[in-house]
Amino acid sequence: DVKVTQSSRYLVKRTGEKVFLECVQDMDHENMFWYRQDPGLGLRLIYFSYDVKMKEKGDIPEGYSVSREKKERFSLILESASTNQTSMYLCASSRPGQGRYEQYFGPGTRLTVT
Amino acid sequence: DAKTTQPPSMDCAEGRAANLPCNHSTISGNEYVYWYRQIHSQGPQYIIHGLKNNETNEMASLIITEDRKSSTLILPHATLRDTAVYYCIVFMNRDDKIIFGKGTRLHILP
């Protein structure tokens, strides 16, 4: 069974803290993605990665960075958390070149910044 | 920006067919139509996809109009567990970046 796991389901951090959100997939997928989801705005792509040590900006990268040192792990970093980064964060992975293209999502991390 | 337009919400009685429409009038010839859904407190889940022909799998059917400018996802016998937000997405398989719109919130009524 394919699996994408995220380090925490719920997280509470203070303004200004450095926050790490970890995502691990066990499917040997090349592609990994970070989204945030807010009411009324749907899913928005923050960053994605096509391979180890590669990263591409999505639609809303400001205030975030990422790290992909190993194929199975993709980390989202909030260098200095702010209250407007309170959101649901979703990680996904995929394998390129499939006839049926599918992104597999993790359960999400609900981050609250106070 | 998302290339699709969907109604923000719909209701359907339990046991009836749920028909979810999607407009994608600017779709290009090599773009596929994909449907995902997101049940509360979970990540999105793939349902079905198609290019030109109608498609059916164990979860749903996908009807694409001949001009490909719109499509309909059909859940043949909706259950309470089908309550979710349904996303219609168009993109080329070679482009690995999916743009999710706001989707349709489907309420299944007992």
pLDDT in tens, A35-91: 999 988 888 999 999 889 899 999 899 999 999 999 999 999 999 999 999 999 999
Return the CA Rg of chain A: 13
Q: What distance lies between CA B102 and its chain's CA centroid?
A: 12
Q: What distance lies between CA B72 and its chain's CA centroid?
A: 7
Q: Whole-angstrom Cα distance, residue A44 to residue A27?
A: 23
Which of A36, A43, A88 to probe by mutation at the B interface, max B CB count within 10 Å?
Answer: A43
Q: Does A39 touch chain B (CB under 8 A)?
A: no
Q: Do B46 and A102 touch (CB under 8 A)?
A: yes
Q: Does B54 touch chain A (CB under 8 A)?
A: no
Instruction: Report pLDDT digits (tens) over B13-32.
Output: 999 999 999 999 999 888 88
Chain A residue with minimal CA distance to B49?
A: A100
Instruction: Report pLDDT digits (tens) over A8-25.
Output: 999 999 999 999 999 999
Q: Whole-angstrom Cα distance, residue A31 to residue A44?
A: 17
